[in-house]
Structure 1
Amino acid sequence: MELDPQNAFSAIQTGIRQASALVVTYSFSVIGAVLLLVIGFVVAGFIERWVYAGLGQVGGFDLTLRRFFSKIARYVVLGLVVVMVLGQFGIQTASVIAAIGAVGLAIGLALQGTLQNIAAGIMLLALRPLRIGEYVEVGSISGTVEEIGLFATRLRAVDGIYILAPNSTLWTLPVKNFTRNGVRRNDITISATNEHDLDQVQKSLLKLAESDRRVRKDPPPSAFVAELGDNTASITLRYWTSDSDYQSAKAELNKKVRSTLRVMA
């Protein structure tokens, strides 16, 4: 079958016209998409800086949360820009948004534990039951807080052991914060026998506490009989110190109290 040159030429011209129309049409779409992307990136950066600076004006707002929320704002803007770019090419954005929602739900279910840690991290940073440098005890976990992240919190135990605790664990259990109030109470209890003068023992213990510069005057130290037995009596010395002096005062007064009781026997 012979090809008619006239028909072939007409077909080529038609194809060129259609291709030209497509190029013109999609050129505008591509240019519009590029402009949207450029403007979107600029606006997203501005929004990120604006949110970061705005949260910085809130007193006591944590730096990690400022970064987290400013990044979230940036990615939300970029997500909207991507949807608008897809719309430039005639793609049904409603179906795209539905697909993104379905993917997000699947990812959320797969990373449920991780998302719990992030949510707990946000609550820890917002409500601040523990801060960097504070000594805390949460369940079986205890140590000095070194870093609070969105996923986990790093602590250092008293023996120097590294601890990385999931935020969900720290949030769901009661937190004992030994540093927050700045002062701590200690009780030293000794056992006196019938050979001891209880009044004299109490006076001696009070004198020990009052002569120690680390013991606070308010509330004042006290010494009292905590428990009576047949041949013994438990006498307690109660005093308050600052958190920083707690361990040193406890160690030294324990030694002095024992020596005093031994001398008075």
Structure 2
Amino acid sequence: MDLDPQNTFSAIQAAVGQASALIVTYSFSVIGAVILLVIGFLAASLIERWVYAGLGQVSGFDMTLRRFFSKIARYVVLGLVIVMVLGQFGIQTASVIAAIGAVGLAIGLALQGTLQNIAAGIMLLALRPLRIGEYVEVGSVTGTVEEIGLFATRLRAADGIYVLAPNSTLWTQPVKNFSRNGVRRNDITVTVDNAEDMDKLQAKLTKLAESNPLVKKDPAPNTFIAELGESSMSVTLRYWTDVPDFQAVKTGLNKSLRNTLNLKK
């Protein structure tokens, strides 16, 4: 069948016109979506800072919860922005929410371990066995807590190494919190010959600890025989300090004991 040039030209012209109209329409949609994304990200960051600063004005409000709620506020704003961007292209909001719910359910079933981390993070924030700035030991994880997130907790090890631990790991194991109670006890044990005068030795060790201004007066430092052997015995000096002073006092007393008693290592 022969094609009518006039009809063909008219069809092409109509198609070009429709394509041009679609390009113009969606160009405005794309530009609007980009503007919404930029404004949305800026607004999310601004609201996160506002929430963080606002909660900081509340007396006694925990630093960990401040960061958690400020992050939640950011994610909520970003979620609303994404829905608005999809609306720019004519997608129904109700359909988007339903789709997000379905996708969320599928992802939840596929990532059960991740959901466990989220649940563990919520429990860590609710019961607060550890807080930002505290030095903790949980299983093989040790360090100062820097941030408790929805999925994982960031810590800084004593040697400055970055540590990221899943929340489920921290929640399912016993937590040793070295900072929470404010004070710590330390024992320094030395080995001496059985010929040593025990009364003088104990008095000397106790006086050495009492002379350190960072050692707590209550409970008072004391010494006792920890182990008795055939030719030697182990004597322990026990004392308490504030947590920030623990390492400095331990190092200082070890040096003083060695210099004062001239003990063999």
TM range (shorter): 0.5 to 0.7
Shift of 1:73: 7.0
Q: Which amino acid aligns with 1:113?
A: G
Matched, 1:183 2:183: yes
Per-residue CA deviation, residues 172-204 of structure 1 (Å, 9 max, x unaligned), is: 111111111111100011112123111111000
CA displacement, residues 131-154 of structure 1 (integer Å, 9 cap, x when unaligned) = 111111111111111222212111
Q: What is the 5 A alignment of 1:135-154?
A: 135-154=135-154
Q: Which of 67, 70, 85 lines up with 2:70 in the alignment?
A: 67
Percentage of identical aligned residues: 61
Q: Using the alignment, how far apart are the partners of 2:81 and 2:59 within structure 1?
A: 26
TM score, norm. by length of structure 2: 0.66
Q: Distance in 1 between matches of 2:79 and 2:147?
A: 28
Contact 2:68–2:149 (Cα < 8 Å) also in 1: no
Displacement of 1:212: 0.4
Summarize deviations over 1:89-138 as a string: whole Å, max 9, x none. 9x9x8x99876654332110122222222222222222221111111111
Match of 2:118 in 1: 118
For 2:70, give the aligned amino acid. Answer: R
Q: Contact 2:156–2:162 (CA<8 Å) still a contact in 1?
A: yes
Partner Cα distance (1:97, 1:165) in 2: 32
Moved more, 210-219 or 140-149: 140-149
**Aligned partners of 2:221 and 2:237 also within 8 Å:** yes
Q: Cα distance 1:78–1:59, how it changes in 2: closer, same or farther (>3 A)?
A: farther
Whether the 8 Å CA contact 1:192–1:198 is kept in 2: the answer is no
Residue ranges of structure 2 left out of the alignment (5+ in a row): 1-43
CA RMSD of aligned residues (A): 3.7
Distance 2:98 2:145 in 1: 42
Supply the distance in 1 between the matched residues of 2:70 and 2:115 (Cα, whole angstroms).
Answer: 17
Please give the residue correspondences for 1:27-42 in structure 2 after superposition, counting only pairs within 5 Å: none
Q: Does 1:171 align with 2:174?
A: no
Output aligned runs, 1:12-91, within 5 Å.
56=55, 60=61, 62-67=65-70, 70=73
Note the C-alpha offset of 1:258: 2.3
Give distance in 1, aligned partners of 2:161 and 2:82: 43
Structure 2 CA distance for aligned equivalents of residues 184 and 131 of structure 1: 18
Q: Which residue is equivalent to 1:262?
A: 262
TM-score, normalised on structure 1?
A: 0.66
Deviation at 1:219, TM superposition (A): 0.5
Which residue identity is paired with 1:63? Answer: R
Aligned to 1:252: 252
- In structure 1, the partner of 2:20 is none
Unmatched 5+ stretches in structure 1: 1-44
- Offset, 1:75: 8.8
Q: Distance in 2 between matches of 1:69 and 1:58?
A: 21
- Residue matched to 1:232: 232
Asked if the contact 2:83–2:96 (Cα under 8 Å) also holds between the matched residues in 1, the reply is no
The 1:59/1:192 distance shift into structure 2, 3 A limit, reads: closer
Cα separation, 1, equivalents of 2:214 and 2:225 = 24
Counterpart in 1 of 2:220? 220
Whichever residue aligns with residue 124 of structure 2, its letter is L
- Residue 233 of structure 1 aligns to a residue in which SS? strand
**Partners in 2 of 1:79 and 1:143 — Cα distance?**
37
